[in-house]
Amino acid sequence: MRVSFQGGAGFQLAGIVDLPNIAPKGMAVFAHCFTCTKDIKVVVRLSRGLAEHGFGVLRFDFTGLGDSLGDFSLTNFSTNQADLQAAISYCASEFQPPQILIGHSFGGACALSIAGQLSNVLGIVTLASPSDTQHLAALLKRKNPAIEQFGSGSVTIGGRNYTITRQMLEDFQRFDLALELSRLEKPVTLFHSPVDETLGFDHALRLYGLLTQRPNNGFQASSTNLICLPGADHLLANNPKDLIFVTDTIAAWFNRLI
């Protein structure tokens, strides 16, 4: 089912809701990776697979990407958070409040960053996600130093050119994901490949540590699972069995949570 709703920056965002043939046992909202869309293989297959398990999933395009309106160069992590909040509100008003958030790569960081504020969210799933937002700013600066020098520059990602702006990098650099993770008490399941070519496994280990080791800060440790995907690539595209395993595992965990 194709849907649209107003995003956090005021632009219409495009989404698709994958639903089972019966009333869904629960709902999830899926946040895609940086410069990806709701239509990449990992997002589509997981969403449809969860629908076959009886769950509904709203997947959507962030501002300026895919079928959504807006200028991608004017977005940043803060606008991603606002877009995800808008998607969650839309899901709650039109279907039911989502019980889990799913995020791939940078979308996983976004899901983790806001989950603690959402009383209806019971758990978060991340796929190949980073442990901070600063690493992406550093990567983009290395790809094109003109971004910092002149305020914007073109960067090729996945064979496509994107305009990246200084304000985007500054927003990435400002956000303290580690602080948010140290306060997150909800259950989390982390999927990551030890040979991820885009985002090293050290990010998964740091996420696990931040979620489970609390330096007497008054917050309970998150019940976190770290599941390794041996030989898998960042987009989970090379081996079809990876997506089957991840989908079945998420569905089993979702059933347990609700």
Structure tokens belonging to residue 195: 């040979």
Tens digits of per-residue pLDDT, 150-203? 999 999 998 899 999 999 999 999 999 999 999 999 999 999 999 999 999 999
pLDDT at residue 158, as a whole number: 86
Residue 209 has pLDDT above 90, yes or no: yes
pLDDT at residue 214, as a whole number: 85
pLDDT at residue 171, as a whole number: 98
Residue 29 has pLDDT above 90, yes or no: yes
In this prediction, residues 128-146 reach a mean pLDDT of: 96
The whole-chain average pLDDT of the chain stands at 97
Tens digits of per-residue pLDDT, 12-28? 999 999 999 999 999 99
**Numbered ranges of CATH 3.40.50.1820 in the chain:** 2-131+177-257
Provide CATH code, domain 2-131+177-257: 3.40.50.1820
Residue 77 has pLDDT above 90, yes or no: yes
In this prediction, residues 206-220 reach a mean pLDDT of: 92
pLDDT at residue 217, as a whole number: 85
Question: Edge-to-edge strands of the sheet including 12-18?
Answer: 2-6, 12-18, 56-60, 27-31, 100-104, 123-127, 188-192, 224-228
pLDDT at residue 173, as a whole number: 97
